[in-house]
Amino acid sequence: MEHLGRQFAIAMAKAQNPDADFWAVRSAVNGYYIGSRVDRDPAVETLLAASIRPDDIVRAANSSDQLRQLEQRFAGWIQRHSTSTIVGLDQYEPDYSEGSTQAFDSFYFRHRHRRFRCFVGEYFYHLKTWISNKADWNFVTESDPLLPGDALVLSVPFCDTVAPVENYDRIMSICDAQNIPVLLDLCYWPICHDLHIDLRYTCIDTVAFSLSKAWPVGTARIGMRYTRPGTFDGQRLHHSIGYNNNVGAMIGNVLLDNFKPDWIHTSRQSKYKTVCDVFNLQPTNSVNFGIGDASWNRYNRRELLKSYQLDFDPALFVNRICVNRVYQHWDLFRTFCRHELSIKI
Amino acid sequence: MNLALKFKNIQDCNGLPNIRIVINDAVVFENTVCPLITVQCHPVDNKINLSIEHYGKDPSTDTVVVNGAIVQDRSCELDTIEVDGYDLQELKWLSAYHCDDDSVLDKCLFFGKNGTWRIAFELPALKWILRTRHEINRNDPNWSEDYESYVSACRLLNKSI
């Protein structure tokens, strides 16, 4: 039922910019429901504004104490999720990452002589980077399975469907057996629920987390990378000499002080059910996404592929609908449901 | 209906051009032209026939010809047409200038000869613009759905369309 989603998107855009005319509104809504980062969250923004003083920024910019603190506490914090479990994170060492992206880049560089692999639907950044750098890569398919000499990137939950990875244990066992290093992208972990992952497979080289999916701090680039003891690449060097984004780490520490890793899930789960019902979306393991049927054609991956300058058929991917904006306009959503659909929320 | 007409290149020659604006047979403006003319009216019918008559020009006194070339000419050009805040933009060319000498100049926004410029459109203007553009270009199959959603949103938010 894309038309209801579209109708509400138009209402959100008009509410956000009441002076916008039809064309401005229409142009804005084409980007709604696409992407994954939180756009705005006034409560979090107020908290950050109240928690961080100008002096703190000056101090943080000349120190690495916030980095140390975040690196020490992140693993304990992320494992306090009420419905998801991680086993084996203690086998890895943390270092701050400029979002999960820096961890990806570091992985690519350390394994640049291998053939990069991912499943269809994986995060487009990998494809963009591999293609633009003429790296050897290919999707994992039945006709082109994982082989020795490969390096695998895998998101958990899987980026396309925001669901647990089917055959995760089998895939890891294959990688173990074939000595294939694996990067696990867990950047959706803080926005998900009911996920369980075992990190004890020896093939796992890197585990990456991000805070920008649950909190509106995307451009602060707050991520955490976990690698095996003994890994000493450029990113780890910066960790060892404290030459990293201490201001970003400070923001990260404020978030960890004030929120649990399942905050998004616990605070939005009842709203999420309503959103999925109204828009006829199939629920996922994240309250930020639902899966739309074929009618959500205008919110398929076409626009995202275009922005990444990637030439793939949008039909390869599911219509993953990001509903973050709906939460940001919850009062309007209630009014919309009452007036347009005669549904009282 | 709020109508805003902008004129450019207004040339004075023994006086400014006289124009008479008629909406569905009702005269809503009659005077010399000026750069911006705004009109408020309440047509009963949603189908609008807008005409602008250029009258009272005497070529023998209101045009100066030197050595076969016109050096001064009472005239003006219609620049933009805004209906209820929506600029008709390129759709202004769906019009014609009917000269008093019975010639018809398609897509002419120049008011030189005495005559009447005519265009027909419908209210609401936004809906007409969207539908007409799609009929011409065949590139906006969702115009109707988005229009209705926009109208609903404006109603929900108590905003004018």
Here the CATH number for the domain that contains residue A143 is 3.40.640.10
As a whole-number percent, the residues of chain A with pLDDT over 70 amount to 100
The verdict on residue A46 lying in a domain is: no
How many contacts, defined by CB atoms under 8 Å, are there between A and B? 47
Mean pLDDT (whole number) for B80-90: 97
Determine contact, residues A131/A163, Cβ cutoff 8 Å. no
pLDDT at A101: 97
Say yes or no: A15 contacts chain B, CB-CB below 8 A.
yes
The model's pLDDT over A197-211, given as tens digits with 9 standing for 90+, comes to 999 999 999 999 999
A155 and A303 both lie in a single domain: no
The verdict on residue A248 lying in a domain is: yes
A228 and A279 both lie in a single domain: no
A1 pLDDT band (50/70/90 cuts)?
Answer: confident
Report how many domains make up chain A: 2
A102 and A211 both lie in a single domain: yes
Q: Domain ends where: A258, A285, A303?
A: A258
Say yes or no: A338 contacts chain B, CB-CB below 8 A.
no
pLDDT at A10: 97
A154 and A88 both lie in a single domain: yes
Q: How far apart are alpha carbons A140 and A137 in whole angstroms?
A: 9
Mean pLDDT (whole number) for A117-127: 97
A205 and A243 both lie in a single domain: yes
Mean pLDDT of all residues belonging to chain B:
96
Instruction: Indicate the residue type of A236.
Output: R
Residue B129, pLDDT above cutoff 90: yes
**Structural domain boundaries, residue A250:** 64-258
A122 and A171 both lie in a single domain: yes
The model's pLDDT over A29-42, given as tens digits with 9 standing for 90+, comes to 988 998 887 878 88
Mean pLDDT (whole number) for A313-317: 94
Kindly report the pTM of this predicted structure.
0.86
A147 and A252 both lie in a single domain: yes
Model ipTM value: 0.82
As a whole-number percent, the residues of chain B with pLDDT over 70 amount to 100
Structure token pair of residue A317: 């991917």
Q: How far apart are alpha carbons A68 and A325 in whole angstroms?
A: 34
Residue A244, pLDDT above cutoff 80: yes
pLDDT at A303: 87
pLDDT at A52: 96
The verdict on residue A327 lying in a domain is: yes
Q: Do B153 and A18 touch (CB under 8 A)?
A: no
A178 and A297 both lie in a single domain: no
Q: Do B142 and A7 touch (CB under 8 A)?
A: no
Say yes or no: A250 contacts chain B, CB-CB below 8 A.
no
Mean pLDDT (whole number) for B121-127: 97
Q: Do A14 and B154 touch (CB under 8 A)?
A: yes
Q: Do A336 and B146 touch (CB under 8 A)?
A: no
pLDDT at B160: 84
Domains of chain B: 2-123 (2.60.60.40), 125-161 (no CATH)
pLDDT at A334: 96
A345 pLDDT band (50/70/90 cuts)?
Answer: confident
Residue B156, pLDDT above cutoff 90: yes
CA distances from B145 to A63, A71, A212, A309, A338 (A): 55, 50, 34, 29, 20
Local structure of B53: helix, strand or coil: strand
- The torsion angle over the Cα atoms of residues A151, A154, A159 and A164, rounded to 10 degrees, is 160
The verdict on residue A149 lying in a domain is: yes
